[in-house]
Amino acid sequence: IPVDRVSLVEMGPRDGLQNEARILPLEQRLELIARLADSGLQRIEVGAFVSPRKVPQMADSAALFEALPRKGPTRYGALVPNLQGLQAAIAARVDEIGLFTACSDGFTRANIGIGVEESLIRFAPLVAEARRLGIKVRGYLSTVIACPFDGPTRPKRVAALAERLLDLGCHEISLGDTIGVGTPGTVAPMLDAVLHEVPAGRLAVHFHDTYGQGLANLLPALERGIRTIDCSVAGLGGCPYAPGASGNLASEEVVYLLHGLGMSTGVDLDKLAATGQWVSERLGHGNGSRVGRALHAR
Ligand code: HMG
Ligand code: MG
């Protein structure tokens, strides 16, 4: 793989739709996923096997996987919080699972009902079982800059937890600025600390764009050799258990920037932007991507 090749992990159908007031019917979620795959995205997180009482938007993830066309090169992932979720994900034949914890107990408790240490103890046998079955495991580490409950996170804390997730057997660690408060001034030292323990090739960045810093924050990640980026079509997204969080950094913005830098993504920006406009209309609100709006107005 040439060094200028960047891999995008599309979050729209999961992180995006989990935070939308309007629940899209299964048929439209399937169309969204098909359009995203057709635009060239090869990794798409499409569901979550979590409590339907906590996140009703993801309740029909099993039915969704059942109906997904599995022809092309695209791999489909889903979040898993516990053994019950892992069993459901295995039954649904997911290509990759995502386990999720955070750097702070406040957010972890609000999100999954237990503290950080307990979550790592819970995850150990889940990773082992998934790997035994040949399912890749991504580890999400949230609140890498700050927690909505516990305040700022120390870079050394992020580094230590990222290393532990790697040691558990995760193939990749996604570093999440869950509430989107970071700037390059806080993101760069966080990445430097993590890169001390985990090689760039095993890291992804997951920026929420609450304060409009997502693209700026991408630069220190690219400069440090990170080549896997989480993003969400039309900037959809946010965690319902992180007060004040808004959507992910928009996929259209990321593709526009990377292509401008001469890097390749394999994504057709026009198709992606048309999909962002399409899903925004289905959701009944404005398109959260500036690039998407600009291309739509052309
Ligand atoms: P709990 O209530 O402590 O679980 O929830 P429990 O084991 O006591 O079970 C209670 C009920 O939930 C039972 O049902 C279980 O069957 C059911 P009842 O007997 O009462 O009818 N249940 C489940 N149902 C379906 N699937 C499951 C499951 N597990 C239990 N897997 C639990 C604990 C972890 C389940 C819950 O807190 C939960 O589902 N949390 C997930 C919250 C979530 O999805 N948050 C959003 C994703 S994280 C995120 O967005 C951040 C990220 O994007 C990165 C970033 O931005 O930083 C990844
Ligand atoms: Mg997120």
Ligand 1 site-directed mutation target among 18, 19, 50, 138, most atoms within 8 Å of CB: 50
- Residue 243 has what pLDDT? 86
Q: Is 253 in the pocket of ligand 1 (CB under 6 A)?
A: no
15-73 pLDDT, tens digit each? 999 999 899 999 999 999 999 999 999 999 999 999 999 999 999 999 999 999 988 99
Span 271-282, average pLDDT: 97
Catalytic one of 103, 170, 231, 239: 239
Distance from residue 51's CA to the centre of ligand 1 (Å)? 4
Q: What is the 3-state secondary structure (H, E, C) of the chain?
A: CCCCECEEEECHHHHHHHHCCCCCCHHHHHHHHHHHHHCCCCEEEEEECCCCCCCHHHCCHHHHHHHCCCCCCCEEEEECCCHHHHHHHHHCCCCEEEEEEECCHHHHHHHHCCCHHHHHHHHHHHHHHHHHCCCEEEEEEECCCEECCCEECCHHHHHHHHHHHHHHCCCEEEEEECCCCCCHHHHHHHHHHHHCCCCHHHEEEEEECCCCCHHHHHHHHHHCCCCEEEEEHHHCCCCCCCCCCCCECEHHHHHHHHHHCCCECCCCHHHHHHHHHHHHHHHCCCCCCHHHHHHHHC
Q: Is 55 in the pocket of ligand 1 (CB under 6 A)?
A: yes
pLDDT at residue 2 is higher than 80? no
Which residue owns the Cα nearest ligand 1 atom 56?
178
Q: Chain-wide mean pLDDT for the chain?
A: 96
| Burial class of residue 2 in the structure, from the number of CB atoms within 10 Å of its CB (0-12 exposed, 13-18 middle, 19+ buried) | exposed
Q: Is 122 in the pocket of ligand 1 (CB under 6 A)?
A: no
- Residue 92 has what pLDDT? 98
Q: Is 85 in the pocket of ligand 1 (CB under 6 A)?
A: yes
pTM (2 decimals)? 0.97
Q: Is 142 in the pocket of ligand 1 (CB under 6 A)?
A: yes
- Residue 137 has what pLDDT? 98
pLDDT at residue 4 is higher than 60? yes
pLDDT at residue 238 is higher than 90? no
pLDDT at residue 3 is higher than 70? no
ipTM, interface predicted TM-score of the complex: 0.98
Q: Is 170 a catalytic residue?
A: no
183-223 pLDDT, tens digit each? 999 999 999 999 999 999 999 999 999 999 999 999 999 99
Index of the ligand 1 atom closest to the CA of residue 84? 31
pLDDT band at 170 (very low <50, low <70, confident <90, very high): very high
Which residue owns the Cα nearest ligand 1 atom 32?
112
247-268 pLDDT, tens digit each? 999 999 999 999 999 999 999 9
Q: Is 238 in the pocket of ligand 1 (CB under 6 A)?
A: no
- Residue 32 has what pLDDT? 98
- Residue 219 has what pLDDT? 97
Distance from residue 119's CA to the centre of ligand 1 (Å)? 12
